[in-house]
Structures are given as C-alpha cells and as structure tokens.
Amino acid sequence: MASASAVVVTLLCGCAFLLLLLCSSNNGSYAYAYINNNGGQLPHDALQVLTTSLLRGPPWHCSPSNPQGNQYYEGSSTMKVVHRHGPCSKLSTTTQNMTDIHTGPTRRLTHQHILSLDQSRVDSIQSRLRLHSNPNPDAADLPAKSGLSIGSANYIITLGLGTPKRDLSLLFDTGTDLTWTQCKPCIKRCYVQKEPIFNPSLSKTYKNVSCSSPQCSQLTSATGNSLDCSSATCVYGIQYGGQSFSIGYFAEETMSLTPTDVFPNFLFGCGQDNEGLFKGAAGLLGLGRGQLSLVSQTASKYGKYFSYCLPSISSSTGHLTLGKGSTPENLEFTPFATNPREMDSFYFVDIIKIRVGGVTLSISQTVFKSSRTIIDSGTIITRLPPVAYTALRATFRKQMKKYPLTYRLSILDTCYDLSGYTRVFIPRISIFFRGDVEVAIDLSGIIYGVDASQVCLAFAGNSDASDVGIIGNAQQQTLEVVYDVAGGKLGFAMGGCS
C-alpha cells in the first residue's frame, strides 16, 4: 500500500496578527508562563500567568513543536504551518523590506492598523451575506481604483502549478472558494511577490476556460459577482475587504501538492489586475465549502476532509492536513449549521453558550440563532452579537476588577494597564457548540497584549444584532480544528500544537 504523501509548506498566520509580533515593544519571546498556585484553586476559574507572558515580542529562534495530529496516513497530505514573520518562516526575511513600484517600501503595521484591517475583512464578509439576502446586481461592481487592504490576510501554502511545475506561495482562506495567482503579462497591474510571477505561456497544460462552459457559470457563487462574458474567454473578478481585488482569466492547470498528489485540470484564476495588501504571496487559495474550492476539487483524493492547528507563538509550528490524518483522543464534533441561500463558501456553526471564569453567561438562544455564526481562518478577532458580547465583557470586567482599565485599542474596548503587576489572573473562556461541545480558548485567544500598559480582551461585538458572528483565528490557536465537510461536521481537539 502506498504511504501517505507529505509536503512541507509555509503558511501565513494572519498578516495583521503576525505583524503584531514584530511591533511589540517587548523583547522576549511570546511564551506562556503558567504559575501553579501551590495546589490551590485559582479564583473564578482563572489562569495565573506572568504579565510578560501576555505580550507578543519578536522571537529569535525557531523551536518546532510536536503536534499531536502531525502524522502521515495513507490518502492524506500533512504540511507544516508557521508564522510568516517568525524565525521558522522562509518568507520572514524576504517580505519585511520589499518595495512595490507603485506604493514604495512596505511598512510595518501599527496595532490600530492591524485591527482596522481585521474589521475591513469582517465588513466584507457581512456585505457578502447581506448581498445574498437582498440581491442587488449594482452592489457587485468591482472597484475602479487601487485597494488598500484585504483585511487580515490568511495563511500561506506553497503548491506547484503548471507543467513544468512552478512553486507558488498562496494565501489560504476558509472563507472563500476561488484560487487565483498573478499571471504574466499582467495586463494592468501585478504587485510585488516573492517568487517569479506565473507565466502560463511556459506551461504545457494551461488552458483558458470558455465563457459558455458550465465551469464558468460556477464563478457567480464563488465570487459573488455576476458574469460579464464580453469575449469567448471566461473572466473572473473577486473583491475583498478594503477595496482589494483580483481580475483575470478563469483557467485550467495542473496543480501539484506533492510529487504524487497531482491534480490535472484544476480550475483557478490567472490574475491580470491584482491590487491590495497581498504583498509577498503569489495569490490566494480557497478552502471554502463551494464547488470551486480546493476542498471540492480534490474531493476524489481527500474526501472533503481537512484539518489544521495554528500555533500560539511565531517561533513554533503547526500543521495543515488534507485528508484524514490521526484522530486525537479528545476530538469532539459539532454539526455544521445549514448555510443560508447561495452562501456555500462559509462554514456555519451553532453556538449554544459561553462560559467566562466558570460563569455561564445568561444569553438567550435566539441571540445566536438570529445572527448565525461562521468559523473563519482569515478573521483575527472573534465577533459576537452585541447582546452576547455585552454579557461576556461585563462578566470579564467583573472578574478583572482589581486591575485598572485603560484606553481602548481600535475595536477592542476592554483593555487593562498591567504595568504594575508581575503576575495576574486571567479568567478562562469557553465557547460551547451544538452537541455540548466545549472549546476552551487558549490564553492567546483571550488576551491581545500590546504591552504591559495595554492588555485587551481579544473579543469584539458586532454593530448590529443581525450581523453574522465569526469565530476568528486568534481563538482557534493551539486547537486541532477538523473540517469533515462530507460528513457535515466540525471537530475540535485540545493540544493540536503549542
């Protein structure tokens, strides 16, 4: 029997979240220091930690972890996940000082900008959901001017495209379906990227998709934009938060994940006008739920099954597995919720309750049912319905009342000045999903630490009760998150990586 194929890839932990590691004034590595309390119980079901453990400082050495699920099984491909700007990433020294011919030198982002980009992505998701609830063809027009951001970016996977194969590093996103990469001749514009731009004329297996083909008609659902077939060639256009977008030819090409896992006629976008904060990456890879996603196009090999673990520190590693890998003993599944009409890309789940410091919040089930919730790899900070967030914030503040509140940080309105404390107690937070599946949030998903004088609760509230809730990547860290798309369920296991 053939052994499982494995490939090492580099994934980008949300650009915004990762740049925070570089912006921090703390010079130590970002590591948790849990302090035991002489065998006694911590107050309010809390974590007692060193204040310095809450801060994100620039790490200097790569210390790969040993994830539970990072084993190889027949029919699956397991890949290494690292922070783009951490010492384990081959991209970290190539992207920090890049210069774009249109915008000049790339600059590090401030924390305000990081969270602004995250809100931009959330606004884009909310807009897509509203568009399908109340269709308006005029609202799907692509912007005519340069975009500024794609929200919080995603993770990077390196795969091969074309014959002969060219390796390309693509941002991957569970909230979208379409895969695209920049292509020569870049009829309008291509931004700066790490690898040479893909040249379809040098590949023996590249082929444009006809505008009249069934594949072309799938773009409407995958991109949210109506088709404009002004020529025989199918043209795609996809827009992201902050007026970032990609426009180009819809095409077929051979895609290689490993030397043995090769997929001919993979449908993707060959971008000719690509604008926004995609710097360094060659494009984007869709891991959504729709027909054009990598998950669906590789279903014959992997059975619409994948999992990942995002590390909590940039000097550690996680993994992405396509297909069934090892099954953690503590893995629990919650069924996916039914997707709203025409919103096949997203993964919807049902939140049942939230617990803070041992206290179950008093939130009516109608609050979560009316807004619905998705899990998203590209959003950093979890967004909750206003009523749910207000309850979480009030309980968290009550249990943190001994520490002085300080000014807010962008969308984060519950921040503390801990500069006068060596050790602090942080309330534990758990989210419960349908089936009474408890997901205990890691400390990295409870606290967003700028410096000791501004340590914030890493949750935010939506502005409207009808806006969809989002489980962000900060709250997914260290968990083994398993997507059994064919089985209609989402799994969580503690300790997938560190």
pLDDT tier at 60 (50, 70, 90 boundaries)?
low
Least confident window among 87-101, 252-266, 291-305, 418-432 = 87-101
Q: What is the predicted pLDDT for the residue at 155?
A: 65
**Span 45-52, average pLDDT:** 84
Is 45 one of the annotated active-site residues of the chain? Answer: no
Q: How far is CA 231 from CA 172, 221, 257, 378, in A?
A: 30, 20, 32, 34
**What are φ and ψ of residue 284, in 5° steps?**
-140, 140
pLDDT digits (tens, 9 = 90+) for 387-444: 999 999 999 999 999 999 999 999 999 999 999 999 999 999 999 999 999 999 999 8
In words, the CATH class of domain 37-60+329-493 is mainly beta
Q: Do domains 37-60+329-493 and 77-320 have the same CATH topology?
A: yes
Spatial contact of 200 and 180, defined as CB atoms under 8 Å apart: no
Domain-by-domain residue ranges, the chain?
37-60+329-493, 77-320
* Catalytic residue (choose from 376, 451, 467, 484): 376
The two most distant CA atoms of the chain are separated, in Å, by 73
Is residue 173 flagged as an active site residue? yes
Cβ atoms 154, 244 nearer than 8 A: no
In the CATH scheme, what is the homologous superfamily, with its name and number, of domain 77-320? Answer: Acid Proteases (2.40.70.10)
C-alpha separations of 329 from 290, 333, 480, 491, 496 in Å = 30, 12, 11, 12, 11
Q: Which of 173, 350, 442, 451 is catalytic?
A: 173
Q: Which helix (H) or strand (E) holds 335?
A: strand 332-335
Confidence of residue 117 (pLDDT cuts 50, 70, 90): confident
- Give the tens place of pLDDT for each residue, 441-482: 999 899 998 889 999 999 999 999 999 999 998 999 899 999
167 falls in which pLDDT band (50, 70, 90)?
very high
Using a 10 angstrom Cβ sphere, with 0-12 exposed, 13-18 middle and 19 or more buried, the burial of residue 156 is: buried
Q: Which residue has the higher pLDDT, 485 or 95?
A: 485
Question: What's the pTM?
Answer: 0.82
